[in-house]
């Protein structure tokens, strides 16, 4: 039954009024549709969003007319091949398209497109909750057009395709990622038949470009509980196809009665635990990848049990290859993730021992400005079920944080610059670039990090003279 509910009071943006006037004047049926309507009916607040307008006619010409009515100088971007046009107004992207009918071939997610009715256009939408349209013509302004029961699905928190799900996903397999993304973001359940169809069609994800897959995966990672999405990706068989390295973390092996934790579920716990403390996508990726080399480094050592020796180091070496395959950026974001993976055990090791000033200075030196992020990762990494153990770690982390602050105030290690430069060393002893210069530089750095001297020119200079003497060098006058 078509639902005749009206949501006029929610369509407050003045552009909707302009669209109504122009559409009426040109005898065009026009609607606002898709994610904007969904979020409006959910009262979901968003920082940046786009508004999709569909008209039974030319979207491009309507976009031009609306834009020039708002402001003749407003720039309209036209994508002729797609039959779409958009402009930015009030920091919102208004996207216009003519209502269309789509049909697919098996080898591509690019459809053959013809003009169609509103209902044709709603049928090509991915989910019932994304197919909701509100009329923008004056006599029906705000009226809901909901041929597939999207409003009920919103109320019941259900993700379901408007048409047969197997065909919907086979036509455009990216929709499988989107289903899981919306389920995670909105905390909705994927209806049984829709979920089954994802499992059946999972292989089809291979025809989608990795960039598009990652766009959706990153949205899952940025939601408040990403483990929900990863578990669905795993259950449907998508995860082994798009990210097999991660699936390898699964399972526990037992030898001589000794087992290790399941690093897949451990990692998902770490990821969920870090979310309240950071919205930084790359710190969240660091949580996903911190133990990625555990399968590659796993050994059973007699008398010791399971070890994952140097998994942090091997893990950080795996990151460039992984980022390249996953089409993630190969820039300073990747370097940051490498650094986090490499250093992720340092604060934990530190907090297991007596927390010495020297060890904290070295940590600060190696982590630099990323020290806060590293501590955030380490705190999320404590997933032990043993409450006493967790308490002890958290207590020690507080000590580490306090020391980090004290030492930074005193010694400014975070952005360490050697107080005595290589040039001064060479000048003082009449040396050319050589091993001796490097050794003296390293000795000064170590003395500062070990707290033997403070981080200033005078103490460093005197220390250099002393060290040089031991090496048989004396200053040239």
The answer to whether residues 103 and 89 touch, using CB atoms and an 8 Å cutoff, is no
With contacts defined by CB under 6 A, how many residues of the chain interact with ligand ATP?
10
Is there binding between residue 172 and ligand ATP (CB under 6 A)? Answer: yes
- Rounded Cα distance, 477 and 475, in Å: 6
Judged by CB under 6 A, which stretch of 169-177, 276-284, 307-315, 371-379 contacts ligand ATP?
Answer: 169-177
What track of x and - describes contact with Mg ion for positions 8 through 37 (by CB under 5 A)? ---------------------------x--
Closest separation in Å from C-beta 315 to ligand ATP: 31
**Closest distance between Mg ion and the C-beta of residue 246, in Å?**
28
CB nearer to Mg ion: pick between 133 and 197: 133
Q: What letter does residue 6 receive in the DSSP assignment?
A: B
Please state the closest distance from residue 130 (CB atom) to ligand ATP, in A. 3
φ, ψ at 113 (rounded to 5°): -115, 135
Alpha-carbon distance values, 341 to 225, 276, 334, 344, 402 (Å): 21, 20, 11, 5, 23
CB 445 within 8 A of CB 422: no
| 174 is a site residue for ligand ATP (CB under 6 A) | yes
Which of residues 34 and 229 has its CB atom nearest to ligand ATP in the complex? 34
Q: Which residues pair with 102 in a beta bridge?
A: 113
Give yes or no for residue 126 binding ligand ATP (CB under 6 A): yes
Residue 259 CB, nearest distance to Mg ion (Å)?
Answer: 45
Interaction of residue 84 with ligand ATP, rule CB under 6 A: no
Residues 6+ positions from 194 with CB-CB distance below 8 Å:
159, 160, 161, 165, 179
Q: How far apart are CA 146 and CA 335, in angstroms?
A: 48
Is 125 a binding residue for ligand ATP by CB under 6 A? The answer is: yes
Q: Measured from the CB of residue 93, what is the shortest distance to Mg ion in angstroms?
A: 8
39 binds Mg ion (CB under 5 A): no
Closest to 144 in 3D by CA, of 294, 11, 303, 322: 11
User: Interface with Mg ion by CB under 5 A: which range of 46-54, 150-158, 218-226, 276-284?
Assistant: 46-54
Distance CA 62, CA 51 (A): 14
Round to whole Å and give the CA distance between 122 and 97: 12
For residue 364, the minimal CB distance to ligand ATP (Å) is: 40
Binding site for Mg ion (CB under 5 A): 35, 50
The contact set with ligand ATP (CB under 6 A) reads 34-35, 50, 52, 125-126, 130, 172, 174-175
């Amino acid at each position: 039954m078509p639902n005749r509910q009206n949501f006029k009071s929610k369509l407050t943006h003045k552009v909707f009024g302009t669209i109504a006037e122009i559409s009426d004047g040109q005898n065009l049926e026009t609607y606002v549709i898709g994610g904007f309507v969904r979020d409006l009916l959910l009262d979901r607040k968003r920082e940046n969003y786009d508004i999709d307008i569909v008209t039974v006619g030319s979207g491009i010409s309507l976009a031009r007319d609306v834009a020039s009515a708002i402001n003749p100088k407003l720039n309209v971007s036209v994508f002729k091949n797609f039959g779409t046009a958009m402009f930015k107004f009030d920091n919102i992207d208004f996207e216009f398209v003519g209502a269309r009918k789509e049909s697919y071939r098996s080898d591509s997610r690019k459809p053959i497109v013809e003009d169609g009715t509103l209902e044709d256009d709603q049928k090509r939408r991915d989910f019932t909750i994304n197919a909701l349209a509100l009329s923008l013509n004056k006599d029906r302004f705000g009226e809901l057009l909901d041929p597939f029961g999207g409003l009920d699905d919103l109320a019941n928190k259900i993700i379901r395709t408007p048409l047969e799900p197997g065909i919907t996903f086979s036509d455009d397999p990216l929709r499988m990622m989107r289903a899981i993304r919306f389920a995670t973001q909105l905390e909705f359940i994927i209806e049984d038949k829709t979920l089954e169809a994802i499992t059946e069609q999972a292989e089809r994800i291979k025809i989608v470009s990795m960039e598009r897959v990652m766009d959706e995966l990153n949205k899952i990672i940025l939601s408040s509980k990403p483990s929900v999405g990863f578990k669905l990706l795993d259950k449907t068989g998508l995860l082994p196809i798009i990210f097999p390295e991660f699936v390898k973390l699964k399972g526990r092996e037992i030898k001589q009665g000794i087992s290790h934790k399941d690093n897949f579920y451990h990692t998902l716990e770490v990821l969920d635990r870090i979310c309240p403390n950071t919205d930084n996508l790359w710190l969240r990726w660091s949580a996903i990848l911190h133990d990625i080399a555990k399968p590659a480094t796993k050994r059973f050592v007699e008398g010791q049990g399971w070890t994952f020796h140097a998994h942090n180091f091997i893990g950080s070496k795996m990151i460039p290859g992984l980022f390249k395959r996953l089409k993630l950026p190969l820039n300073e974001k990747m370097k940051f993730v490498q650094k986090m993976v490499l250093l992720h055990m340092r604060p934990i090791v530190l907090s297991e021992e007596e927390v010495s000033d020297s060890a904290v200075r070295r940590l600060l030196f190696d982590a630099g400005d990323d020290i806060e992020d590293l501590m955030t990762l380490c705190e999320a990494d404590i997933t032990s079920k043993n409450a006493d153990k967790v308490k002890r770690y958290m207590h020690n982390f507080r000590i580490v944080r306090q020391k980090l602050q004290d030492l930074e105030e005193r010694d400014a290690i975070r952005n360490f610059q050697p107080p005595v430069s290589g040039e001064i060393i060479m000048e003082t002893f009449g040396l050319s670039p050589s091993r001796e210069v490097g050794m003296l530089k390293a000795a000064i750095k170590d003395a500062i990090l070990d707290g033997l001297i403070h981080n200033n020119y005078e103490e460093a200079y005197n220390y250099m003279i002393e060290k040089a003497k031991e090496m048989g060098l004396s200053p040239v006058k």
